[in-house]
Structure 1
Amino acid sequence: MIKLPILDPAIFRVGPIEVRWYGFMYALGFTLAWVLGRLRARQSWRGWTPAMMDDVLSWLILGLLLGARIGYVLFYDPVFFWNHPAEIPAVWNGGMSFHGGAIGVFLAVWLFARKHGKTILEVGDFIVPLAPPGLFFGRMGNFINNELPGRVSDLPWAVIYPGTAGDTPRHPSQLYEAGLEGVVLFTLLWVYSRKPRPVGSTSGLFLLGYGSFRFFCEFFREPDVQLGFVAFGWMSMGQVLCLPMVAAGLWLLLRKRGQA
């Protein structure tokens, strides 16, 4: 087993200003998405320009951060935040929901699509391959911060999360998610979208892939203590929220079956 060290949540401090691991990981994800997006925008057949990539990224950052935080507040701990509303904007303490972020991104994509005369699926197909690197860095930030520990395990690579889950070895579920939702999903989407596909297919692959990988990884992740299992005595909130993603992804892929 591996015992994780207790790391300072701040990488460094300069006077009252501090840079935290969690925020740094988000910055890395956005930066890599911007670089990869501008590379994709240079391919004329996609109908995008680097300037459009710059524009959409600003919409996505706003939609993601607002949606992820509001989603966490509503989905995972509404009672706490109802009683402590001043904690809602304290994102530096952690607490971001992917599914809430996905809703925020959807709204941002809708507004951007209207502005540029594109459909939501056309924009979605362009941006979804850029998301997995951010998911990777986000999960690495969770791991560094000893957040979202896994379930109890006796496997050789089980880890002890000091200060958050006692001295019991647990699955490093954040690393499982970083590998599947980050590395594997990015590879699938990047390879799949290297040539023209039916509109909506790349978005469908992302929804199906993320929903399936997250559903699987939730079996190794400790349910949120304030929620526990929310369905059938074994399903977590994360798994419940993944089901509509998988259904939507399958629909987007299957409705184009047989087309080039």
Structure 2
Amino acid sequence: MLVHPQFDPVAIHIPLGFTELAIRWYGLMYLVAFGLFVGLARLQLRRPHVAAQGWNARDIDDMLFWGLLGVILGGRLGYVLFYKPAYYFEHLAEIAQVWHGGMSFHGGFLGVLVAMAAFGASRGRPFFQLMDFVAPCVPAGLAAGRLGNFINGELWGRPTDVPWAMVFPQVDDLPRHPSQLYQFAGEGLALFVLMWLFSRRPRPTGMVSAAFLVGYGVFRFLAEFGREPDNFLGLLTFGLSMGQLLSLPMIVAGVLLGWAASRRVLPRALAG
């Protein structure tokens, strides 16, 4: 049985007179995620079928700015609306207090969709051409985020007796699934490899986006079986967690999008 290392959540302490600047691991993981996105997007520019679409380095920098807004605003609003709407409707001032925690991947994903739609419209880019460019670059950043969750010792797993079970002392003395590492390996590393290989060749517009929707939805759905549900929600319909219920529409949307992309019946305004 393993024990969580109980890392200091603050990576760097910088004394500043009577106080100090604390740089947290989770914040650093966000920076790593954005750095990976930029680096991978620039690598994509070397692919002939991508270069033929006219992408350049400035597009990537602007895309990152729009995406950052979408992640933060969508992630926070998604957590408020999907997980604790009653609480936040009674404490409206706390919605903006993101430093207290509370971000939703599914909300961040919707926020990025809106941000990318706005960015694409400003550049005259079809939506799914843009999302096909973005999708292979995202899972590496997700891996960084899940590593940040593990360092913080948050989003721990359900009790289990598997040989690699881990005790999280800040929770209790029960051996649990290290679910953060499951998500790091699944929706992070494994999905990155699959997406990067799948996108190497030209695909019908929308197909890479569809692969991401299905891939993330499946990996997240499976990982949730090992992750402890939020204590204020528990398990919901059919014994599924909120993360699983939010992943199911992603899988369905991905299958439908893949079908439409393979038959090239997506609206011209979306596919170009």
Q: Do the structures match in fold with TM over 0.5?
A: yes
Q: Which shifted more, 23-32 or 84-93?
A: 84-93
Contact 2:204 2:262 in 1 (8 A): no
- Partner amino acid, structure 1, of 2:43: L
- Tell me the TM-score normalised to structure 2 length: 0.90
Matched, 1:243 2:248: yes
Matched, 1:182 2:188: yes
1:33 to 31, 37, 41: 37
- Partner amino acid, structure 2, of 1:247: V
2:9 corresponds to: 9
1:203 to 209, 227, 240: 209
Matched, 1:114 2:107: no
Distance in 2, matches of 1:127 and 1:252, equals 16
**Secondary structure at the counterpart of residue 205 of structure 2:** coil
2:270 corresponds to: none
Shift of 1:35: 0.9
Distance in 1, matches of 2:5 and 2:198, equals 39
**Secondary structure at the counterpart of residue 6 of structure 1:** coil
The count of aligned residue pairs is 257
- Tell me the TM-score normalised to structure 1 length: 0.94
Contact 2:207 2:262 in 1 (8 A): no
Contact 1:11 1:21 in 2 (8 A): yes
Contact 2:26 2:149 in 1 (8 A): yes
Distance in 2, matches of 1:10 and 1:136, equals 19
1:217 to 216, 223, 234: 223
Q: Percent identity?
A: 49
1:161 corresponds to: 168
1:77 to 71, 84, 87: 84
- Partner amino acid, structure 1, of 2:37: A
Distance in 1, matches of 2:148 and 2:90, equals 27
| Cα-Cα RMSD | 1.5
Distance in 1, matches of 2:11 and 2:97, equals 18
**Secondary structure at the counterpart of residue 8 of structure 1:** coil
| CA offset digits 1:131-184 (Å, max 9, x no partner) | 101110111111111111101111111001121x21100000110111010111
1:87 to 78, 86, 94: 94
Matched, 1:22 2:26: yes
